[in-house]
A = this chain, B = another copy of it.
Amino acid sequence: MNKEELAWKEESRKKVFDCRMFSIYESYCKSPHDELSTFTILDAADWAIVVPVLETAEGKKFVMVWQWRHGSQTMSLEFPGGVFEPGENPQDAAARELQEETGYKPGSIRKLGEFSPNPAIMANKVHFFLAEDLVNTGSQDLDADEYVAVELVSAETVFKGMGKPPYVHALMSSALALYLQQ
């Protein structure tokens, strides 16, 4: 088939599950050959991920965060990031998450790109930013259930480590790919 003939058409959707982090929908769709099928879709608020680049005496370093991750039940070393607050614009969400998790405030911040975290089943987007000219305010501002430790890591270490622990979060390699694209 040609790619112009591959699109499905959603007829309707129904919410079948809801929790604090996301909602699940059944989507009733018509195929390119007019057959009806049901797909399950997860919708959530958008997320921001920030690549914070700090100039140090040893050269450029990424400001990264250690966190326990409940899905994988492991520790993970990641770029800062998190869920948008209601009505928040992507860049403000990115700058806020950076400062809350690491204490660093960006002097400049710009968008690197955006993806669907998994367009097969997820409806939300993840927005990536580059943060530079960082100023250390010296204090994190963490949520009650958030435990985060900051670590400075060279770009080369992150690049070589991706795909193996503690670099276990796929979206952090997406952030790195967009950083390398600049």
Q: With the chains together, A120 CA to B37 CA distance in Å?
A: 30
Residues from chain B with Cβ under 8 Å of A8 in the complex = 68, 70
Q: With the chains together, A180 CA to B163 CA distance in Å?
A: 12
Q: Is A79 an interface residue (CB 8 A)?
A: no
Chain A interface main SS type: mixed
Q: Which residue of chain B has its CB nearest to the CB of A19? A: B40
Copies in the complex: 2
Given A22-B40, A75-B7: A163 and B178 within 8 A (CB)? yes
What 1/0 flags go to A155-182 for Cβ under 8 Å of B? 0000110111000111101101110110
Q: Is A6 an interface residue (CB 8 A)?
A: yes
Q: Is A154 an interface residue (CB 8 A)?
A: no
Q: Which of B29, B69, B163, B171 contacts A70 (CB 8 A)?
A: B29
Q: How far is the CB of A150 from chain B (nearest CB, A)?
A: 9
Chain A interface residue count, Cβ-Cβ cutoff 8 angstroms: 71
Q: Which residue of chain B has its CB nearest to the CB of A168? A: B116
On A, residues with C-beta under 8 Å from B are 1-3, 5-8, 10, 16-17, 19-22, 24, 27, 29, 31-32, 35, 37, 39-42, 66-76, 112-123, 126, 128, 145, 147-149, 151, 159-160, 162-164, 168-171, 173-174, 176-178, 180-181
